[in-house]
Amino acid sequence: MTRRSLLALGLTATAALFVVTGCGSDESPSADTTTPVSAPQVGLAPFTAAPAAPLSGAPLDRDALQRAALTLSELPVDFDVVPDPVDDLGLAPAPESSEADKSSTAPAVCAQVLAPIATQAAGSVADLSDMFTGPDFTSIDQDSASYADGAAAAAAFEKLQTTLAGCAEYSGTDADGTTITYRVGGATNPNVGDASFAFRIITESGGFTLVADAIVAAVGTTLTQVSATAPSPIAPDVLHSMASAAADRLRAQTP
């Protein structure tokens, strides 16, 4: 399951909760009424690309990326690992598409926003993705991709930002065909690793909102992306702490 899938799933779950809580008993005078919920007002600054510092070093293999991955001890309390259906549960890979799947994104290139780095910038030597779930429709995700040399890593760093800069506002549908709108903005450069940038995605559907804040950092020739998604923004210092820990763990694995 991709991060974009989790965003849509979170909106669906939030909407379902609203429907349930909006229904009273048969004896309740308000049993047949619901109160619309307005999306919270969340700030969004324009995204500005950050220049990449010169990157160099040897790539990491998948085992090294796994050793460098964030652990539960570096996350807020009450989070747990989301097992990988294939690697951890031994399930068959999901089919690429389904006739019943009505998901779409317009412009199509914006489907890359918040996708794993290796998906956005092909050619990585190794990559890894981990997902964690927490209370109240919150999730934290990390993915990393290591490239053969500094030039390839810098090109990947730039490509991610080019996509973000071109997708300030876009729309799409989930697997059921429900309309979802997306807005992308920037955040203060977090100064993590050898080069870094931060961004925010506000996802809205039917009056419900999810906010995803992310930091992308380069350490040597490896890029890592740490994001947190919830109905309200994560505290900036918490996200920065996780991204810094991710960069430090990568540094410890870098030859």
pLDDT above 80 for 95 = no
Output the pLDDT for position 158: 96
Output the pLDDT for position 236: 95
Output the pLDDT for position 11: 52
Name the pLDDT band for 76 (thresholds 50, 70, 90).
Answer: very high
Structure tokens at 133: 């779930």
From residue 163, give the alpha-carbon distance in Å to each of 37, 109, 112, 175, 209: 32, 7, 7, 23, 22
Q: Average model confidence (pLDDT) for the chain?
A: 83
pLDDT above 50 for 163 = yes
Identify the CA nearest to 135 among candidates 42, 43, 8, 17: 17
Output the pLDDT for position 36: 40
Answer with the residue of higher pLDDT: 92 or 156. Answer: 156
Domains of the chain: 3-253 (3.40.1000.70)
Alpha carbons 211 and 10: distance in angstroms, whole number: 10
pLDDT above 50 for 27 = no
When computed from its CA atoms, the radius of gyration of the chain, rounded to whole angstroms, is: 19
